[in-house]
Chains A and B, each alone.
Chain A
């Protein structure tokens, strides 16, 4: 196997970094005001002081809640190797009480090398859990319950939540309950008894600001200056990154991206796509990579459909649009043909086709979902008389036609006027 070129190696390194949440969120550990430090403070004080706590992590999907939690748990397992055990539940899988208790019992058994019996009933499982909590409390071991998709647990009778939070009200147990949810009002979904026992600590995960994202880019994309890369290459690579970042066009790209979706997840996807498009010969990133990544992320299927239309189909679309502009709410094939004829008469275009050809083009448009039937009733009417409507907006039509390979100029004029 031949050696990798530096370009390939750097590609692998960066892609590996982007896929590892622990690397991505590591800079958060440094700042003391971040969610990581807040969470770590709460959980570590609960462990050292032996008091119970419950926290809720809220934020849109893909903002790094589970990743930060994993970081915190990993660090705590290293700091307190024997006093922490983690039980993980997921609201999509374990929202049923029976399932949930069984899963907790099974994980507890695995942690402490006990034998788990699948035949145990709900009663036995819950008694076992209570007993285990007490034993762990005596042994100064904290159990961290991680409840993913917390809002799913709040359906039904909320027995699991009640028993967990109630167990934490007694001094005999030492536990921390951490819920992760993307619903901001997750604690309003709780029943009043459960809500009273919940300690109302919420940590909000907001999308990163522009400055934070700049720092993140720096952290993710700069290559380390170690011996595995040729030194000139590393400095050239990092220099190129700096140049790109200070380019105004890049800032525009970022602004467009931020306006649409600014969660960590989508930003990481954007960087991943840009990096994957890296030119392997030069081994350096360029602005075009980022542009291409943006356009691949913000695809517009209807636009692409318009771009692939034939000239006749474009004519038909323009006719339909003109009918709409003339306040004709419903139109069918016959009225479109009339408009088509008027255009041909006034502008003497060369593209004038027979009716059956136009009908076939019309059908094509409907099959590609650029137009559709205006109502679902009236199926007995033949295709020519059924009212149709456009499924794309005027601006999309405009854009599509402008980027069309060979759109006649007259069509654009017709659309504008």
Chain B
């Protein structure tokens, strides 16, 4: 059963994944030609071909079997909400409460345990079930099912901020569609999964679709792929039960050209009388369909829009817990996870960021643990060193803090005076000044504190250095002195950075 490893993959890439279940201590071996971690620990030759078609591949380390207790050794997170599960292997449904009791101790100095946790939190690891997106997934799946049942074409548009699980859900929907087709006895749909950033020309998408289409016709020299597709879909098919084509176009806004031709034609393909394609477009803009495809509305074939909202705090927390609950030990304190979820959901609701922050907190803990090894090799391992609030707060500040404040604090004195004078100069409505005016202000400040001001050449050099760092913005001009300067940094940041030094505090009053 083909299953795709990652969201962005070319149509030709197929990865055979099969997943084994262990019950009671049988070793689990997994063949996956693309899973390098498996190869590291044992040979790739062990293939036990029990196919689990329903659940997508869930990577499981054989090492964990040694660590885990019998109760937690086989966990099978229940599958998606659809409930169409035809798994021949018994899966022990994990009881969360049971697991919490028997979780073993976690030692941050243990390399393997650390590795396991980090992998569980890595962005590239696709979880077995996609939690918190059941609703949206179901809607898309119903749409696809409907199209397949009635053998009609249709188009769907999925939008949402980055990091909200769109591509992930599309993969799951695709697998669900294939299984369902098998069950219902319909022919399995052909899938074309295209990431539009990889197209050199926007019209290449049509050749990709044509290449996959059932008739397998190569692009003729006489007509473009688009015309061929259009002719294909305008005539009645020879076979009555021809396959549907599922087209998933990721990052669809790369197809937007000035005349919006390609995007339009793509959606129009679904309106042709004998069309067989189900088009799912994924992008970030909510109103892409309205803005760029106004004509479709008049033809009454506007695509269905499914919005993936940014994750809320509870959703992020739940997803993090799901990822970690599979591990046989407790690595994070619950309030640490909670504060991470709260901060990330307030900022952007981006799941990738939450995972990143958690990994960063893990690393801080690791450095701490390692650091204590270096200092006292004989000290006993402190009990239960999990990721606590202080680690998580440090990781959050590292991720969300801008380096501007630190840099301003460590600038040489003259450059600090320049930044200070710029802050004063741009307080009012004037948004940019020439270098000569700024120089005057700078000289004034220097004089007021008996510091020798630097000459104009030196001053211009320092302004260029600050421009390089992104603190000031310098425009080009014929004459050095006529260049216009504006401030890129917030004045509040400057005040905050320089508040320790009394001189600047008084200056900025």
Report A's interface with B, CB cutoff 8 A: 32, 41-42, 45, 49-52, 58-61, 121-123, 126-127, 130, 134, 137-140, 157, 159, 162-163, 166-172, 174, 182-186, 192-193, 195-197, 199-202, 204, 206-207, 258-262, 298, 300-303, 393, 395-396
Contacts and interface: CB of A to CB of B under 8 A. Distances in A.
Contact of B125 (A61, A171, A182, A395): A171
Contacts of A199: 123, 352, 356, 359
B403 interface: yes
Interface stretch (B68-76, B194-202, B209-217): B194-202
A192 B35 CA distance: 29
B284 interface: yes
A261 B402 CA distance: 23
9 contacts: A61-B468, A140-B39, A157-B254, A170-B7, A172-B36, A192-B161, A196-B350, A199-B352, A199-B356
A169 B5 contact: no
B6 A172 contact: yes
Given A140-B36, A196-B350, A258-B412, A121 B200 contact: yes
Given A168-B124, A169-B123, A184-B402, A260 B454 contact: yes
Contacts of B356: 199-201
B474 to A, nearest CB: 13
Contacts of A395: 452-453
- Ranked nearest first, the 4 interchain pairs of A and B with the lowest CB-CB distance are A170-B6, A196-B162, A183-B470, A259-B413
Contact of A196 (B353, B407, B453): B353
A341 B249 CA distance: 85
Contacts of B198: 123, 126, 163
Given A51-B118, A182-B469, A185-B404, A300 B457 contact: yes
Contacts of B39: 138, 140
Nearest to B114: A49
A212 to B, nearest CB: 12
A206 B406 contact: yes
B470 A185 contact: yes
Nearest to B59: A171
| B59, B198, B254 — most chain A CB neighbours (10 Å) | B198
Contact of B412 (A42, A261, A301): A261
A199 B163 CA distance: 12
Nearest to A187: B402
Contacts of B124: 51-52, 168-171
Contacts of A393: 443, 455-456
B410 interface: yes
B374 interface: yes
B404 to A, nearest CB: 5
Given A184-B403, A206-B407, A122 B200 contact: yes
B46 interface: no
Contact of A32 (B251, B374, B457, B470): B374
A301 B359 CA distance: 54
Interface string B189-227: 000000101101000100000000000000000000000
A260 B40 contact: no
Interface residues of B, number: 70
B81 interface: no
B374 A259 contact: no
B460 interface: no
Nearest to A185: B470
A183 B407 CA distance: 11
A171 B458 contact: no
Interface string B238-274: 0000000000000100100000000000000000000
Given A50-B36, A171-B6, A393-B443, 13 more contacts: A49-B119, A169-B123, A171-B124, A174-B36, A182-B469, A197-B162, A197-B352, A204-B406, A207-B412, A259-B413, A260-B414, A261-B462, A300-B457
A143 to B, nearest CB: 13
B197 A163 contact: yes
Contact of B34 (A58, A172, A259): A172
A105 to B, nearest CB: 15
B399 to A, nearest CB: 5
Given A204-B407, A259-B412, A300-B455, A183 B123 contact: no
Interface string B1-42: 000011111100000000000000000000001111101100
A166 B119 contact: no
Contacts of A60: 407, 465, 468-469
Contacts of A61: 465, 468
Contacts of A262: 412
Contact of A184 (B254, B350, B360, B471): B471
| B123, B360, B404 — most chain A CB neighbours (10 Å) | B123
B36 A49 contact: no
A184 B454 contact: no
Contacts of B469: 60, 182-184
A46 to B, nearest CB: 10
B200 A123 contact: yes
Interface string B452-495: 11111110001001001111000000000000000010000000
A171 B34 contact: yes
B363 interface: yes
Contacts of A32: 371, 374
A139 B34 CA distance: 10
Nearest to B471: A184
A300 B125 CA distance: 60
Contact of B458 (A41, A42, A202, A260): A260
B115 interface: yes
Interface in B409-455: 410-414, 443, 452-455
Contacts of B343: none
Interface in B54-84: 59
B367 interface: yes
